[in-house]
């Protein structure tokens, strides 16, 4: 429609120009009527009639053009008013829709806040329930420990052996002596030569039992039968001739690792058995979680070289300084190794009434810490009392305890 109107306007403008030009040219350069007494129409010549006709046509074309222009302007005004009206209507609809959306959003916000409040209340309720369940669980555990302690205290069950087992992780050192496996593989020779390892095992009435290993100790096992109580140790490893076939040794090490709950192994495990039959101890004394003590069942201590004699001789003073520097280096390596080589451990209690059953606990290695000037890795209790049947680690080690210990046990009964 708009294209047609533009075409019509252009056509009328051109026609008007043509007619006007023709009228002008017709009157240009001559007269359009003759002089005389005749009427005006009789005196108009051809040039005059042409000019007059062109003027009439110009008037007609101009009139038509104005009508067409007026109609087009009116149409445009109507279209503009319609567009403005539509825009106003759409704006009003959009405003109404926006207001509706705003109201819905406010309602959703209120619903969300209400839901959050309910979730908070539910969470608080769940926390209360969880706390109550935790308290109930702790109380049941405590009652279970108390019942177990009471039962063992009032029974004739006595402890014959206490076994401590430390399986090494896959990052542990492989070796044939305790001194080798308890220290880093790439330990500097100077550090290895002067560093000693203490394994301290906590017993209730027997106090702490110590095993110390130096670089000069090349034995994979030791028997301390003259100690009170007597004790033995042995290093299980896949090349140990002491225990026969390597396959059996690997099975035994994996059994120890599984009992302790450790994830990896290098097929090496340090075992310690303390023969307390002569002490006539109740099994209740060895329920480690029930002990109100801060001592850990196992502590492995790296005694790095940090002591030397101090004299007035200047050379000895320089030697002392060198050993202090060496100690700092050794401490760093021991700390790193202790944090990687140990994960879990095991402590078992064999009863005299049923030697095929052992009460045992899983232990977990704590981060290495400095105790009395030396890096120490401690093993804390990590389980409730567990039962293992057909557990004969003392027999597995091939231990033949002194007759006096067995006779003492018989005398007590």
Distance CA 178, CA 232 (A): 13
Q: Which residues pair with 110 in a beta bridge?
A: none
Q: What is the pLDDT of residue 308?
A: 43
Q: What is the pLDDT of residue 168?
A: 95
Pair type for strands 298-303 and 196-203:
antiparallel
**Residue 266: which region, alpha, beta or left (left: phi > 0; alpha: psi -120 to 50)?**
alpha
Q: What is the pLDDT of residue 124?
A: 83
Q: What is the pLDDT of residue 71?
A: 81
**C-alpha 233: how far from chain center:** 39
Q: What is the pLDDT of residue 287?
A: 62
234-253 exposure pattern, b = at least 16 Cβ within 10 A, e = fewer: bbbbeebeebeeeeebeebb
pTM for the full model? 0.59
Q: What is the pLDDT of residue 80?
A: 85
Give the CA angle between residues 345, 347, 353 to the nearest 5°.
155
271 closest CA partner among 110, 394, 388: 394
pLDDT in tens, the chain (413 residues): 666 666 666 776 777 667 667 666 666 656 666 676 777 666 777 777 777 777 777 777 778 777 777 887 888 888 888 888 888 888 888 888 898 898 999 889 888 888 888 888 888 888 877 776 655 545 445 444 545 555 555 556 778 888 899 999 999 999 999 999 999 999 988 888 888 999 999 886 667 899 999 999 999 999 999 988 899 999 988 665 444 456 666 777 887 888 888 999 998 999 999 988 877 776 666 665 544 445 788 999 998 775 544 444 555 444 444 456 667 788 889 999 999 999 999 888 887 776 666 788 889 999 999 887 788 999 998 888 787 665 555 456 667 777 754 444 444 43
Q: Which residues pair with 375 in a beta bridge?
A: 302, 370
Distance CA 72, CA 6 (A): 9
Q: Which two tokens stand for residue 122?
A: 């539910």
């Amino acid at each position: 429609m708009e294209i047609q109107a533009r075409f019509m306007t252009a056509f009328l403008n051109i026609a008007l120009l043509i007619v006007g030009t023709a009228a002008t040219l017709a009157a240009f350069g001559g007269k359009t009527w003759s002089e005389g007494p005749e009427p005006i129409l009789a005196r108009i010549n051809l040039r005059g009639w042409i000019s007059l006709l062109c003027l009439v046509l110009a008037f007609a074309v101009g009139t038509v053009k104005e009508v067409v222009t007026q109609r087009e302007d009116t149409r445009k005004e109507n279209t503009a008013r319609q567009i403005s009206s539509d825009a106003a209507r759409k704006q009003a609809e959009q405003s109404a829709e926006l207001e509706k959306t705003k109201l819905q959003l406010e309602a959703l916000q209120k619903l969300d806040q209400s839901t959050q409040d309910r979730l908070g209340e539910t969470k608080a309720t769940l926390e209360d329930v969880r706390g109550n369940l935790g308290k109930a669980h702790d109380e049941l555990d405590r009652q279970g420990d108390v019942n177990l302690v009471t039962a063992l205290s009032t029974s004739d069950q006595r402890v014959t052996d206490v076994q401590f087992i430390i399986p090494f992780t896959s990052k542990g050192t492989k070796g044939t002596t305790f001194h080798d496996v308890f220290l880093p593989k790439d330990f500097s020779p100077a550090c290895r030569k002067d560093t000693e390892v203490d394994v301290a095992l906590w017993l209730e009435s027997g106090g702490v039992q110590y095993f110390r290993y130096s670089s000069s100790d090349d034995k994979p096992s030791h028997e301390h039968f003259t100690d009170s109580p007597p004790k033995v140790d042995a290093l299980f490893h896949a090349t140990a001739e002491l225990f026969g076939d390597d396959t059996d040794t690997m099975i035994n090490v994996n059994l120890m690792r599984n009992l302790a709950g450790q994830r990896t192994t290098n097929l090496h495990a340090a075992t310690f058995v303390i023969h307390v039959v002569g002490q006539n101890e109740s099994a209740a004394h060895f329920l480690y979680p029930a002990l109100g003590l801060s001592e850990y069942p196992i502590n492995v201590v790296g005694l790095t070289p940090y002591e030397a004699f101090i004299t007035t001789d200047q050379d000895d003073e320089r030697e002392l300084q060198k050993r202090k520097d060496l100690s700092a280096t050794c401490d760093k390596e021991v700390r790193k190794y202790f944090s990687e080589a140990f994960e879990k451990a095991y402590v078992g209690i064999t009863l005299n009434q049923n030697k095929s059953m052992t009460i045992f606990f899983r232990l977990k290695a704590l981060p290495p810490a400095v105790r009395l000037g030396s890096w120490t890795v401690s093993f804390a209790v990590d389980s409730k009392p567990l039962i293992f049947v057909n557990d004969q680690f003392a027999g597995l080690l091939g231990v033949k305890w002194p007759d006096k210990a067995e006779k003492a046990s018989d005398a007590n009964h």
